[in-house]
Amino acid sequence: MGSSRRAVLVFLLLGLVSLFADMVYEGGRSISGAYLAEVGAPAVAAAMIGVGEFLGLVFRLVSGYVATVFHSSTVLWGSTLLGYLLTSVSIPAIAIAPTWHTVVALYIADRLGKGLRAPARDVILAEVSEGIGVGKGFGVHELLDQLGAFAGPVLVSVLLALYGYRVAYLTLLIPGAVAVLLVATAWRLYPILRSTSRGGASSRTLVFRGYGRSFWLYVAATSALALGFMHWSIASYYLKVRGAVGDVEIGLIYAVAMLVDALVAIPLGALFDRVGLRALLPVPALVPAFVVLVAYAPRELLYLSAVPWGIVMCSEESIMRASIAVLVEPPRRPLAYGVFGLVFGLAWAIGGYVYTSLLAEPLYMLLYAVAASATSLYLYAHLARHSQGGPRAS
């Protein structure tokens, strides 16, 4: 098999890995807030899952630094495999968690797994998708990812309605095992990455210089967006406490959000390849739109909240990742993905605590979302004006 065909096969395998892994994680996340409320957890427990997102993104920095220092295909693939293994075990284990504290800890463990694998996987993905365009490559990967993210919540909702929470969580062991086996297969097919064979190990000094003003402006803009983007665990907790819909419907709304994510993934990727960073400009307006629907929409309209949430998540997982490949040279990308993830995760965690403190005041939640999204839009517009040449070749 030729190297280009092998790269395409590995690209598709990585997409299938994300499909099955997202069945696990997104299936679990779709009912996270509702389950915490079910077991009597306080509202702050939902925000603690957001802290898990932050800790996972701290792991992205560590993982990106290790990959940059050792400049090794084995480190990149090993980090990817171990990260998926951690997710595949931690979410199903919630079925036997004795307390809400353990439930939160297991959700955090899953996020640590994502933090471990994400920079390494994105470096691999950027290389094997070079032949089809980095924007479309991340878009196709996001499509497969979100097919799993749609199937997982639907599966969990059905099992929840028929058998309850425990069976719903335990069943997620099956797609988790498939994901781990697919990673091992991709590693065997493409064991040596070109980007790691071009030179020796990098300096062991953690250096944040040399990434350019555009990269840091991009990090600031996306972090402002994260401050205002309500985490689903908080939204689902709020919907349950508000009594707007039942537990099963909360999971189904999340499934619709994942379907929206899947449907817009490839068009967003193609738009990014065409207009570059300007593709980010419409995204901030969707943040307050989601808060309006969650806080004020009647039961009949709550499914519409899936649209803005799904598009923002798709942007985060596709064109926001592709933007790093545009703004940063290949040797610096592992650490760049880690730095970006760390700052983004910190912002998302802080925003989660802000929303938790404002749950009793929907108007204040909305005003906060508008302020964060306006800041993000301003910074994105400034970035786009200074990057009018569009995406450069990797």
Q: Are 20 and 178 in contact (CB under 8 A)?
A: yes
Return the higher-pLDDT residue of 137 and 133.
137
> Region 13-33: what's the mean pLDDT?
90
The residue behind tokens 């980095």 is 134
Task: Please state which of the ranges 77-81, 199-203, 337-341, 363-367 shows the lowest mean pLDDT.
Answer: 199-203
Q: Are 335 and 64 in contact (CB under 8 A)?
A: yes
Return the higher-pLDDT residue of 8 and 304.
304
Q: Which of 249, 221, 231, 251 is nearest to 365 (CA)?
A: 231
At 41, the pLDDT band (50, 70, 90 cuts) reads confident
Give the right CATH number for 3-190+210-385 from 1.20.1250.20, 2.60.40.10, 2.40.10.10, 3.30.460.10: 1.20.1250.20
Report the run of H or E that residue 387 belongs to, with start and end: none
CB atoms closer than 10 angstroms to residue 310? 27
- Given a cut of 50, whether residue 390 has pLDDT beyond it is no
- Given a cut of 80, whether residue 204 has pLDDT beyond it is no
H helical segments located in the chain = 3-30, 32-38, 43-70, 73-90, 100-128, 134-163, 165-170, 173-189, 194-197, 213-228, 232-242, 247-275, 286-296, 306-317, 319-327, 333-357, 362-385
Q: Are 86 and 116 in contact (CB under 8 A)?
A: yes
Length of the chain, please? 394
State the Cα–Cα distance between residues 30 and 233, nearest whole angstrom: 8
> Region 273-277: what's the mean pLDDT?
85
| Mean pLDDT of the residues in the chain | 85
Residue 80's identity, in one-letter code, is T
> Region 162-171: what's the mean pLDDT?
93
Q: Are 372 and 225 in contact (CB under 8 A)?
A: yes
> Region 140-157: what's the mean pLDDT?
84
State the Cα–Cα distance between residues 185 and 207, nearest whole angstrom: 34
Q: What pTM did the predictor assign?
A: 0.70
The residue behind tokens 């999971």 is 251
Q: What is the pLDDT of residues 82-134, one digit of tens each?
A: 999 999 999 999 999 999 999 999 999 998 998 888 878 888 887 887 766 66
* Tokens matching residue 180: 């781990």
Boundaries of every domain in the chain: 3-190+210-385
- Given a cut of 70, whether residue 336 has pLDDT beyond it is yes
Q: Are 12 and 181 in contact (CB under 8 A)?
A: no
Q: Are 228 and 380 in contact (CB under 8 A)?
A: no
The Cα angle at residue 329 between residues 326 and 209, in degrees rounded to 5: 110
- Given a cut of 90, whether residue 291 has pLDDT beyond it is yes
Gyration radius (Cα) of the chain, Å: 20
Q: What is the pLDDT of residue 139?
A: 73
- Given a cut of 80, whether residue 307 has pLDDT beyond it is yes
State the Cα–Cα distance between residues 128 and 140, nearest whole angstrom: 12
Return the higher-pLDDT residue of 71 and 55.
55
* Tokens matching residue 238: 């709020």
The Cα angle at residue 324 between residues 318 and 326, in degrees rounded to 5: 100
CA–chain centroid gap for 52, Å, is 13
- Given a cut of 50, whether residue 394 has pLDDT beyond it is no
Identify which of 221-230, 257-266, 268-277, 337-346 has the greatest average pLDDT.
221-230
Q: What is the pLDDT of residues 56-91, one digit of tens each?
A: 777 777 777 777 677 688 888 998 999 999 999 999
State the Cα–Cα distance between residues 338 and 58, nearest whole angstrom: 7
DSSP codes of every residue in 55-98: HHHHHHHHHHHHHHHH--HHHHHHHHHHHHHHHHHHTGGGGG--
